[in-house]
Amino acid sequence: MSAAEGPLVVGVDTSTQSTKALVVDVATGEVVASGQAPHTVSSGAGRESDPLQWWDALRKALHQCGDAAREAAAVSVAGQQHGLVTLDAQGAPVRPALLWNDVRSAPQARRLVEELGGPKAWAERTGSVPGPSITVTKWAWLAEHEPESVRATASVRLPHDYLTELLTGLGTTDRGDASGTGWWASGTEAYDEEVLGHVGLDPALLPRVVRPGEVVGTVRDSDDLPFAKGTLVAPGTGDNAAAALGLGLRPGTAVLSLGTSGTVYAVSARRPTDPTGTVAGFADARGDWLPLACTLNCTQAVDRVAALLGIDREAVEPGTNVTLLPYLDGERTPALPHASGLLHGLRHDTTAGQLLQAAYDGAVHSLLGALDLVLDEDADRSAPLLLIGGGARGTAWQQTVRRLSGRAVQVPEAKELVALGAAAQAAGVLTGEDPAAVARRWNTARGPVLEAGERDEAALARIAGVISDAAPLLEREADQR
């Protein structure tokens, strides 16, 4: 570990599969120590995780950071969005958390949209049209299927709230993560009592929404945490808002995040209200907005296709006229929560590499379909797309995005941008700086730019045509589940 030039802060990313901790030098942005520990997700009817695993993973990740964590002056926790954490009167989980990619609440989502005024009314009210990922639909599902769990619930938290509360003993959240619940009104920036009343959720069970830059507390005394007494705790936020901080994102720059799920987003000064439901009108962690579209099937779906074919994920071949819609876990964009994958155009001379390329094309097509919707009208659409996430360094992902978008691609060298964004937020509460400005000072977006090429209009038209032709089949399949 090199000697730090300034104070140290800790940024945490509690994601779907693991929890990561970075100790960062506030002066330089250098990562001086890091740790990571896994947690599990159920593979049954839904997608659930035990929140106690997150806490155990956080403690392990922090202890891996050694003395650097003990020297940290502030900490911030960013986490996977939308997860429903229900706690009893002693603060213990009532049941495993329902995660963002649990689509069992699709019927409740449709019903809530219908019962409270339709898509346009929801978009105007909360910024988003609820789909099964949104937290309010998960609460509605729980009330319908496990009323005993609802009766036992004394507080409701999001994943990052849960860990922040264990650090401080205080129940808080931030506007970025709250905006993904469906019970926070983006117009008033307050909990929506009509929505809460409709689903039978007492607002007293919810955490206080803190202001950007507010110190939410200090780390309480604990024998199993390496922090010194008095270590400041920042608000934390959702993973996408944290990544936006980690990039120091300015309005108008588009980000494609290639992870288990795929997201495309940009910072905007205007509050988004998309009645089609394609774009979620999230808040960011600073006071602006973060219009975002999400797909459920990205790197995980492509990796699964590669595994089924028995080839490396980079072993793509050009020249395919095959279309593969990789909706292996249902899909959010387009809104087909119970759909499955669909293969069209298979011929005797189709190769495994061409099939794999078709999986990449299908995943990227879904993301690019929402790109123009998340950008303001005056955004520069010739600027490079920022490519982040686990797939961003894969050559096949990079080339597919370039070919289907016709735009240049920039791949930041910085890794773990969610944890870096949390670290920038922690630095902000320590120094009073804008956390995005901190990240820009750290030069986190630095990375190679791959020049634009010719846009593959034929492939885009072919994929769009298959989606249109297959819509009745996909919708019928959804109705049968």
Q: H or E element: which one contains 323?
A: strand 323-325
Structure tokens at 180: 């993904």
Which pLDDT score is estimated for 229? Answer: 84
Which pLDDT score is estimated for 381? Answer: 80
Say if CB 434 and CB 288 are below 8 A apart: no
Report the alpha-carbon distance of residue 462 to residue 441 in Å, rounded. 43
**φ, ψ for residue 309 (rounded to 5)?**
-85, -15
Q: Which of 13, 177, 192, 239 does the annotation list as catalytic?
A: 239
Which pLDDT score is estimated for 480? Answer: 52
- 239 included as an active-site residue: yes
Which pLDDT score is estimated for 224? Answer: 83
Per-residue burial over 452-471, b = 16 or more CB atoms within 10 Å of its CB, e = otherwise: eeeebeebbebbeebbeebe
Strand partners, 218: 232
Report the alpha-carbon distance of residue 137 to residue 127 in Å, rounded. 15
> Vertex 458, ends 453 and 460: CA angle to 5°?
85
Helices 435-442, 417-431: axis angle to 10 degrees equals 120
Q: Give 225-265 pLDDT, tens digit per residue.
A: 899 888 999 999 999 999 999 999 998 899 999 988 899 99
Say if CB 443 and CB 341 are below 8 A apart: no
Report the alpha-carbon distance of residue 414 to residue 409 in Å, rounded. 15
Q: Which residues, 6+ apart, have CB-to-CB distance to 357 below 8 Å?
A: 316, 317, 318, 320, 396, 400
Provide the CA 333 distance to its chain's centre, in angstroms.
14
Residue ranges for the chain with pLDDT beneath 70? 1-3, 475-481
Question: Which amino acid, one-letter code, is at 5?
Answer: E
DSSP string, 189-234: TEE-HHHHHHHT--GGGSPEEEPTT---EEPPP-TT--PPTT-EE-
Which pLDDT score is estimated for 472? Answer: 79
